[in-house]
Amino acid sequence: MQGLRPQELAEIIAIDRKKCKGCDACKAFCPTDAVTGKYGAVHRVDGERCLFCGQCLVNCPFGAPQDTVDIVDKVIARLKDGRTTVVAAIAPAVRVAVGEEFGLEPGALVTGQLLGALQTAGFKILDTNFAADLCIMEEGSELITKIRHYALGEAAGHAPGPLPQFTSCCPAWVRYAELYCPQLLPHMSSAKSPLMMAGALAKTYGATEVWRTNPENVFVVGVMPCTAKKFEASRPEFASAAAYWHKRGSAGSYPDVDVVLTTRDLARLLKKLNINLTAAAEFSDADNPLARYSGAGTIFGNTGGVMEAALRTAHFVITGQELAALELNPVRGLKGVKAAGVTLRDAKTGREITVKVAVVHGIKENLGPIVDEVVAGRSPYHFIEVMNCPGGCVNGGGQPINPMGTSWLDKYKAILPWS
């Protein structure tokens, strides 16, 4: 099993001994059996096995698992120092969840108010949806190269990775593959996640062309629905911007993404700055190209969204035409494993191929048979999307705690005998 490297965050989720009742609820939601402890005894999290997904945190009825990485005050200090360009890279799932922290109904879309509140706080905006569009162009192009090479017999110009190709956007899924099925790593897309693309972009093109500042003065804050993104940002390989500038004479050393705030963290930050999201002025930055995006980037936050965006791209590039129906219903919805086939006619050769895809969310319950097929060499699929959290990023470990998780307990603490 691959251990943590010195630079990587070793503990993101920890269990508060004073709150843990040993009820085993957290174990029921942990995809890797990283929670240890007998029933009735205080539990703990094994960091070597943990994916940092936070599903134990959002599903514990007693609020015992905690996100230990609190950098809200650090970000506020950067916002106020007068020297740093602080860039918020906001994931699509945040804008339909953060309103809950300010009394709005679950699912309320607050994009304009959210970006406006971030501007009021002093952030520059890089919408991660923009980077998701870049990601799907990279991931989709990689898939197209493999399809044309393996299925249509075209020379690739290089040795493409094997099929099926797995998505690489979910850091909990990537860590799962590294720890528990490393034989799948050659099948993983070589594309970075949208957040990591956003960080590198912010400290290269964004620094010099949009905000007109030294890249070393740019401090990138991922605003994510996901606790595992805190781990991803700490991985030492994600320092592409520094490497880019090093080749051009700079001696600086810095990560692409400096820190990650969860949706809950962001709400706390805004409240500390006395910014009411619901009263915030609408975002206005019409000249910022990094705040624009397509509908393909927007749907990344749902299970099936990456797949749908990839198939739209593959269809257009191979056939030369847009999909007649942009909504691919077979890959939507909350079924644990979804499968679909899309027939494409290659505009170059006239040959047809049916691209077979699968979408998996909820690693604990649904991934096993898919992995077994790939390892045995009998997978029918060309492309497989995997997201660790049930429903995708919208149900990530950094989202507001829903009424079936810890928040229901607060209402009854005064009358419960063990509170």
In order, the DSSP letters of 130-153 are HHHHHHHHHHHHHHHHHIIIIIS-
Ranges of residues in the chain whose predicted pLDDT is under 70: 1-2, 285-286, 325-327, 402-419
Determine whether 158 is exposed, middle or buried from the number of CB atoms within 10 Å of its CB (0-12, 13-18, 19+). exposed
234, 243, 331, 408 from 365: Cα distances, Å? 28, 40, 18, 25
CB 226 within 8 A of CB 396: yes
Name the domain count of the chain: 3
Of 42, 68, 94, which residue is a domain's last?
Answer: 68
- The structure tokens listed for 258 are 């400096």
- What does the alpha-carbon distance between residue 341 and residue 200 come to, in Å, rounded to a whole number? 34
Q: Over the stretch 321-368, which tens digit does the pLDDT of each residue have?
A: 887 765 677 788 888 899 988 888 877 778 888 889 999 999 999 999
* Residue 26 among the catalytic residues: no
Q: Choose, from 124, 146, 192, 229, the residue flagged as catalytic.
A: 229
Q: State the virtual CA torsion across 196, 215, 285, 112 in degrees, nearest 10.
A: 40
Task: For residues 181 and 308, state if they share a domain.
Answer: yes
Confirm whether 135 is domain-assigned.
Answer: no
Q: Over the stretch 196-212, which tens digit does the pLDDT of each residue have?
A: 999 999 999 999 999 99
pLDDT at residue 323, rounded to an integer: 75
Query: What CATH code is carried by the domain that includes residue 311?
Result: 3.40.950.10
Q: Choose, from 53, 60, 169, 170, the residue flagged as catalytic.
A: 169
Task: For residues 110 and 223, state if they share a domain.
Answer: yes
Q: Choose, from 139, 234, 308, 389, the residue flagged as catalytic.
A: 139
| Domain boundaries, position 373 | 142-188+302-395
Residues paired with residue 341 on neighbouring β-strands, in sequence order: 356
pLDDT at residue 411, rounded to an integer: 43
Q: Choose, from 232, 234, 240, 385, the residue flagged as catalytic.
A: 232
58: DSSP letter:
H
Task: For residues 101 and 243, state if they share a domain.
Answer: yes
Task: For residues 146 and 126, state if they share a domain.
Answer: no
- The structure tokens listed for 35 are 């929670």
Q: Choose, from 101, 142, 308, 385, the residue flagged as catalytic.
A: 142
* Residue 139 among the catalytic residues: yes
Query: What CATH code is carried by the domain that includes residue 50?
Result: 3.30.70.20
pLDDT at residue 293, rounded to an integer: 85
CB 177 within 8 A of CB 188: yes
- Alpha helix locations (H) across 147-256? 171-180, 194-201, 228-233, 240-246
209: DSSP letter:
I
Task: For residues 245 and 329, state if they share a domain.
Answer: no
pLDDT at residue 327, rounded to an integer: 62
89: part of which helix (H) or strand (E)?
Answer: strand 85-90
Q: Over the stretch 228-257, which tens digit does the pLDDT of each residue have?
A: 999 999 999 999 999 999 999 988 899 999
Confirm whether 405 is domain-assigned.
Answer: no
Query: What CATH code is carried by the domain that includes residue 273?
Result: 3.40.50.1780
Q: Provide the b/e sequence for 294-318 (b: ≥16 CB within 10 Å).
A: eebbbbbbbbbbbbbbbbbbbbbbb
Q: Choose, from 11, 48, 209, 237, the residue flagged as catalytic.
A: 237
Confirm whether 289 is domain-assigned.
Answer: yes
Q: Which residue has the tokens 């619901």?
A: 278
Work out the number of other CB atoms within 10 angstroms of the CB of residue 64. 23
pLDDT at residue 286, rounded to an integer: 63
- Alpha helix locations (H) across 81-191? 111-121, 128-146, 171-180
| Nearest residue to 227 (alpha-carbon basis) of 65, 106, 412 | 65
The string of DSSP codes covering 285-305 is -TT-GGG---HHHHGGGSTTH
Task: For residues 15 and 148, state if they share a domain.
Answer: no
Of 46, 68, 90, which residue is a domain's last?
Answer: 68
* Residue 189 among the catalytic residues: yes
pLDDT at residue 403, rounded to an integer: 53
pTM here is 0.91
114, 127, 345 from 281: Cα distances, Å? 9, 18, 48
Confirm whether 119 is domain-assigned.
Answer: yes
pLDDT at residue 406, rounded to an integer: 46
Q: Choose, from 30, 124, 168, 189, the residue flagged as catalytic.
A: 189
Q: Given the DSSP bridges, would you call strands 165-166 and 383-387 parallel, antiparallel or unpaired?
A: parallel
Confirm whether 406 is domain-assigned.
Answer: no
Work out the number of other CB atoms within 10 angstroms of the CB of residue 404. 10
27: part of which helix (H) or strand (E)?
Answer: helix 25-29
Q: Which residue has the tokens 């080749």?
A: 247
* Residue 393 among the catalytic residues: yes
Q: Which amino acid is at 74?
A: K
Of 249, 273, 296, which residue is a domain's last?
Answer: 296
